[in-house]
Amino acid sequence: LFGRPWIFIRGVPSMNFLPPEGPPEIAFAGRSNVGKSSLINALVAHKGLARTSNTPGRTQELNYFVPDGFSGEADDLPPMALVDMPGYGYAQAPKENVDAWTKLVFDYLRGRATLKRVYVLIDSRHGIKKNDDEVLSLLDKAAISYQIVLTKTDKIKDPAVPKLMAETLEKIKKHPAAFPEVLATSSEKASGLDELRRAIEVAITQ
Ligand code: GTP
Ligand code: MG
């Protein structure tokens, strides 16, 4: 699936604009600027498919991406959708916009029956912050399966990566909905991507 071209199909500014529930959805959550959009581009090997920026607050809607070649008719649905989300935490945007998209993210995470797995991205340099913990607790409460992905591992020293993976795993052990394996990626260096692709392919069958 990841070998083929992917396309953008829909930007969702509020819950009313969600597509009808259909294929399994895999969502990418995390603080603003953690690298959600970059990771989607790296996974599907398409630079510029999801828009990225140095400025936190780039992604402001739920953006749906699917493999190309499916009509979307009931008998020809794509096998999954990747959902890029706005970030939480600090963003360079008007407060009312940030409040609106934060609500959208939380409503979507709590209330989407076809949401199969959330990848919660954590910046390797910063680790799990308070607002990450709030999202993890929300997912635990809603019983939505999620997995932690460390991002931007090219920004830390190589030997620090396994140590950080182990520490992070230790921290999430108390979380009932957390998948008991932490992944480490760099979109810049294209590392850890195959492991994540495989995990996604398994997640959509569960
Ligand atoms: P919002 O949409 O604003 O929430 O951000 P996002 O989480 O989608 O982050 P985005 O992918 O836009 O990346 C933010 C910045 O981090 C950009 O300048 C990227 O180039 C950079 N970045 C993303 N992934 C990596 C990585 O693996 N390594 C390095 N060095 N930089 C990265
Ligand atoms: Mg983004």
Query: What pLDDT sits at residue 149?
Result: 98
Separation between Cα atoms, residue 163 and residue 159, nearest integer Å: 7
Query: What pLDDT sits at residue 69?
Result: 95
Q: Model confidence over 123-143: pLDDT tens digits?
A: 999 999 999 999 999 999 999
Q: Domain 6-203 belongs to what topology?
A: Rossmann fold (3.40.50)
Domain boundaries, the chain: 6-203
| Residue among 28, 33, 39, 149 whose CB has most ligand 1 atoms within 8 A, to mutate | 33
Query: What pLDDT sits at residue 88?
Result: 96
DSSP secondary structure string for all residues of 3-65: TS-EEEEEEESSGGGPPPS-S-EEEEEEBTTSSHHHHHHHHTT-TTSS---SSTT---SEEEE
Q: What letter represents residue 2's amino acid?
A: F
**Could you report the predicted ipTM of this complex, rounded to two decimals?**
0.99
What pTM value is reported for the model?
0.98
Q: List the one residue out of 30, 27, 25, 34 whose CA is nearest residue 52.
A: 34
| 66, 8 contact by CB (below 8 A) | no
| Atom 26, ligand 1: residue with shortest CA distance | 152
Query: What pLDDT sits at residue 167?
Result: 98
| 48, 137 contact by CB (below 8 A) | no
Query: What pLDDT sits at residue 197?
Result: 98
Q: Model confidence over 160-202: pLDDT tens digits?
A: 999 999 999 999 999 999 999 999 999 999 999 999 999 999 9
